[in-house]
Structure 1
């Protein structure tokens, strides 16, 4: 559960960065957000398989 909480915090942080990024940096920032969401999804799938 701690890992999932950390991941959620990471996703929220990436979302804030993406929202506040200048136009030319948004694509990169949103890419980082999607990567964080993928990692969160992978962790949840690992937790469910246990």
Structure 2
């Protein structure tokens, strides 16, 4: 496979992975914000990276 054909494929895979990881992080942050708003803003637990 020539290098010119490999580069766009790698770029596409990288972008897809980047968007996927970004979406997971954003949804995680939104879920934590919603949970802390429900529990009360006074006692917000520190964020744990599971």
With CA pairs under 8 Å and 6+ residues apart, which has the higher RCO, 1 or 2? 1
Normalized per residue, the structure richer in helix is: 1
Unaligned runs of 5+ in 1: 1-20
Normalising by structure 2, we get a TM-score of 0.53
Runs of 4+ with >6 A deviation:
none
CA RMSD across the alignment:
1.6
Unaligned runs of 5+ in 2: 32-50
Mark the structure with the bigger radius of gyration.
Answer: 2
